[in-house]
Amino acid sequence: MTTSQPAAKGKRVAIRQDLFTTPLDDLNAVHLKGTKCNDCGEVFMGHVISCAHCGSESMKGIVFNDQGTLYTYSVIQYVPPGDYKGPKDPFIPFVEGLVELPDGIRIVAPVLDCDPKNARINMPLKLKVYDFFKDEEGNDVVAFCYVPA
Ligand SMILES: [Zn+2]
């Protein structure tokens, strides 16, 4: 720390760099970012400097559509191993979806606000960007999921 001011509380930080459009002030106005290959059209999440499909370095940044559909899914019944930040006690089973976006990519993401019994392949979904947990510095860590549209 090079400043004598107290650390700002409640600052928002993205769970992963280059994932979201900024600023993060109004989470309803935040979208997912991706990269598209100018040569073969392959689409990737976040910022990518070369295409894993064709090797091209001609890439452009894109903003993903907020709408998607549930391509397939599984229901997570037990606390995932590792550093799981969701509710643990009690753990709430949730839908982990493979969400198909019109941008030509499928994204693995939790589908929240959705009882697993009600999950259906092809159901319309929309992006939700939210404060997921507080880190050690008191920042709100921003994550994303999908919810029924
Ligand atoms: Zn390519």
Give the number of other CB atoms < 10 A from CB of residue 144.
Answer: 21
* pLDDT-derived band at 87, boundaries 50, 70, 90: confident
39 CB contacts (<8 Å, ≥6 apart)?
51, 54, 56, 58
Note the pLDDT of residue 1: 47
**Where are the domains positioned within the chain?**
12-148
Interval between CA 37 and ligand 1 midpoint (Å): 5
Rounded Cα distance between 67 and 102, Å, is 8
pTM exceeds 0.85, yes or no: yes
Mean pLDDT of the chain: 93
Q: What is the pLDDT of residues 35-77, one digit of tens each?
A: 999 999 999 999 999 999 999 999 999 999 999 999 999 999 9
Distance 104 CA to ligand 1 centre (A): 13
CB neighbour class for 49 (10 Å; exposed up to 12, middle 13-18, buried from 19): exposed
